[in-house]
Structure 1
Amino acid sequence: IAGVGVGSALMFAPLYSAEIASASHRGFLTSLPELCISLGILLGYVSNYCFGKLALKLGWRLMLGIAAIPSVILAFGILKMPESPRWLVMQGRLEDAKKIMVLISNTEEEAEERFRDILAAAELEEDRAVGSDVWRELVINPRPAVRLILIAAVGIHFFEHATGIEAVVLYSPKIFQKAGVTSKDKLLLATVGVGLTKAVFIVIATFLLDKVGRRKLLLTSTGGMVFASTSLAIGLTMVHRFGRLLWALKLNIVSAYTFVAFFSIGLGPITWVYSSEIFPLRLRAQGASIGVAVNRIMNATVSMSFLSIMKTITMGGVFFMFAGIAVVAWWFFFFMLPETKGLPLEEIEKLFGGGDARGAREGLEIQAKRVNNKI
């Protein structure tokens, strides 16, 4: 049940945020779900630290049961959320879409402009979709631009977890044990530090996404993760071979926090922002669902295989492997992911070869004339 709820939220939250946000603030708003996830993890660490001092029979039940409180708040909060105007347009509910667009825009002029762009894009999508099934158009026989978009979305979701963040977040107590931290209280506090680092740097990322751009942050983030994974692997290998070396123990702790910081300032939030904004309107929900499915599969794969791989090639060897995967990820992002900062959702497809800028604009203008009759 938790898996269904979490899986749904992971798809809907960034998708909904991207669809209601203006182009100038889309990065900030679409990264908020990732920020709130990190705050939730941090609160989980803190509450576990507090409940860990209780008797075992009571403590673990409270650790699990307290999650019901934010779940209830969320359930009631969703009832107050307006529907996505883009979805309403796809359903032909133009008046409802226009009212909501006014609510989520700074001015009526901005609302009118965004509304016309959505209508024009919806008209184009309808023309393309004659006799076509969404899944066929997305997976079986996609246009070249859609194929590149799908590869980009699947790739960024794959590398988010294949580079090892789950190993650091879930198994940080074991990493810190290897680093020489043995006290139960100190291990829990060190784990709280991981959650705090993650939350702080995602906050920083939310303010940088619309100023610096997705691409620069992503490449910087992945490059930093290569460095942090390598230094963590070296430190863990030295401790494994030569025992408690003070410099190696310090290097392990600093590297673990550095890895989380670099992940959180780029790859973590950008994965959800980017995959939510690049798909065409008609394919956005299904495309986002494929990305989330890959994300959850990789999350589970890394989580469940980490201990087995560690026993085979040592913990240091695992992080050398993650560093190598991060190098591949950097090159993938460099060649496959163009910058989307500041572009309306309806114009992003052309970055992947879905028509040049002039052709896209002319197409929108033609469709806008047809849309005027509907309005």
Structure 2
Amino acid sequence: MASQGAQTTAAATTTHADQRPKSLADFDPPQKPKRNKYAFACAMLASMTSILLGYDIGVMSGAAIYIKKDLKISDVQVEVLVGILNLYSLLGSAAAGRTSDWIGRRYTIVLAGAIFFAGALLMGFATNYAFLMVGRFVAGIGVGYALMIAPVYTAEVSPASSRGFLTSFPEVFINAGILLGYVSNYAFSKLSLHLGWRMMLGIGAIPSVLLAVGVLAMPESPRWLVMQGRLGDARKVLNRTSDSKDEAALRLADIKEAAGIPQECNDDVVQVEKRSHGEGVWRELLLHPTPAVRHCLICAVGIHFFQQSSGIDAVVLYSPRIFEKAGITSDDLKLLATVAVGFVKTLFILVATFLLDRIGRRPLLLSSVAGMILSLATLGFSLTVIDHSHVRIPWAVGLALTTVLSYVAFFSIGMGPITWVYSSEIFPLQLRAQGASMGVAMNRVTSGVLSMSFISLYEAISIGGAFFLFAGIATVAWLFFYTMLPETQGKTLEEMQVLFGNFHWLRDSKRKKRNTKLFGNGDGNSDGSSNVQLGPVSKPIIN
């Protein structure tokens, strides 16, 4: 063979018998590691808890039509009923950070499923509005737990090479749950008025049981295990969820360093003291944060705020009303149109999962928000034309339906998944659970306020004006993301700390890229920077 001949020639010319001969394969670029199937399965199981929120969002958009008719409630009561779960989930997400540090990530997921199971049953058997609100409260606590813990667990178990892909799974399953909720609306809409909406809500108890049982087959998060001093268990999990043994050893060393455990500590020799149950975390997050932690917190809270304030819940929860304003009056056609929304959201979130680790977070996020701005502005224009016309305008109706679909598509391909990926990966180890829970808390508050006021909002400033407002908020979001969020693609969770705390990172990043283009990589610097300076630089560039 040619490669063997090349090796023989190289061996004959070498002067050292122990020198390994070189072949052409030695100079090939390193191959991209294969996707870790075990980590994939763990991320899949954990993220499926997000179906609970998605199903509730999707099913309530249609069930509210029949609940209003059956219980004879007002529009304000419908707003409260639809949106209050988001505020209730705030309590769950706030408690989940401390709970997950205390009992572990895995059992927190089980707890989320059990709480939502009880809430779904209460809603399904509700006899009046007050009883229904009690069920919403219990289900909201379970949703809050699931929203916080699924992306945290997935980020902590995933290798860096595929963390973006795996950590986007919660958003995938939120969208899958929304689609299931829309399908459930259409399927049970043929039942009697008294039974139909109760079946829509109560059937959500079934997946929560299956998920809680399935999660028990998952391992615990290796980072939580290290925080408890269980280094041997953490090593076993890392060996199975890493792309190689070397990467597993490196990840363990990084986690030990982040947790403040000396590298010489060996689980077989030294009994390591349990590190943390979450004590002192809030002080480090809020009272005396370092510049890096403050930057992380601003980014996490900001991205969650803009995800919801740009109008996604208004479109998903009130899509039947939007389609009615666009000129569709039949209940069946409105529900079919919402199914189309759910299908498009799910399709494009699947596309996004394969782009996160190839394109990167920033390009995908900025492109997504730009598309959302265009879609929202066009939707506002078309609805304004329809609202001010006394006759049906087919092109405006078609434009409204098309832009609703394009909006959810652009949202799902970037803003939707990246919010959960980004906020779950940027915090230091000790602060990750509570830091992520603060982001989720902002997400739920903003979602709750929006979903409980959307009807009143569009009645005050018109349906078109509401979407022009969302377009303006999305524009501010684009500027925030461009200036504040550094790229995290391919970084380990422990390497994130060097990306944050320098609020001039964007300027420094551009300078570094300019130097790389001018001087290449020939000066021996592994990061592509140059020893030749274009001007005075008072400190090293950190990117």
Shorter-chain TM-score above 0.5? yes
**Mapped partners of 1:206, 1:295: distance in 2:** 21
Question: Which amino acid in 1 is paired with 2:438?
Answer: I
Distance 2:501 2:452 in 1: 38
| Corresponding residue for residue 291 of structure 2 | 144
Residue 323 (structure 1) aligns with? 471
1:266 aligns with 2:403: no
1:255 aligns with 2:403: yes
Residue of structure 1 equivalent to 2:224: 87
Asked if residue 226 in structure 1 is aligned to residue 373 in structure 2, the reply is yes
The alignment partner of 1:338 has SS state of coil
Mapping for residues 57-206 of structure 1, pairs under 5 Å: 57-123=194-260, 133-206=280-353
Stretches of 4+ aligned residues off by more than 4 angstroms: none
Percent of aligned positions with the same letter in both sequences? 61
Q: Which amino acid aligns with 1:265?
A: I
Q: For residue 149 of structure 1, what is the amino acid of its counterpart?
A: C
What CA distance in whole angstroms lies between the structure 2 residues aligned with 1:186 and 1:48?
12
Could you tell me which of 19, 25, 36 is aligned with 2:173? 36
| Alpha-carbon distance in 1 for matches of 2:439, 2:261 | 24
Give 3-state SS (helix, strand or coil) of 2:345's partner.
Answer: helix
1:145 deviates by 1.0
Distance 1:184 1:354 in 2: 53
**For residues 262 and 54 of structure 1, what CA distance do their matches in structure 2 show?**
35
Residue ranges of structure 1 left out of the alignment (5+ in a row): 359-375
Alpha-carbon separation, structure 2, partners of 1:76 and 1:287: 28
1:238 matches 2:385 = yes
Moved more, 99-108 or 24-33: 99-108
The structural deviation recorded for 1:353 is: 2.9
User: Could you say what the CA RMSD is over the residues aligned between the two structures, in angstroms?
Assistant: 1.9
Equivalent position of 2:27 in the other structure: none
**Is the contact between residue 159 and residue 243 of structure 2 (CA under 8 Å) also seen in structure 1?**
no
State the shift of 1:271 in Å: 0.4
5 Å-filtered alignment, 1:257-336, equals: 257-336=405-484
How much does 1:354 deviate? 7.1
Write out per-residue CA displacement over residues 171-202 of structure 1, whole angstroms, 9 at most, x where no aligned residue: 11111111111111111100001111110000
After superposition, what is the alpha-carbon deviation per residue over 1:267-310, rounded to whole angstroms, capped at 9, x for unaligned?
00100000000001111011001001101001101101101111
Q: CA deviation at 1:55?
A: 1.1
The aligned amino acid for 2:460 is: T
After TM superposition, the structure 1 stretch with the greater mean CA deviation from structure 2, 99-108 or 216-225, is: 99-108
Deviation at 1:162, TM superposition (A): 0.2
Aligned length: 353
**TM-superposition CA deviations, 1:132-169 (whole Å, max 9, x none):** 92111111111111111100000000000000001110
1:242 is paired with a residue whose SS is coil
Whose RCO is larger (CA < 8 A, sep 6+)?
1
Which one-letter code corresponds to 2:360 in the other structure? G
TM-score, length of structure 2 as denominator length = 0.63
Cα separation, 2, equivalents of 1:138 and 1:342:
25
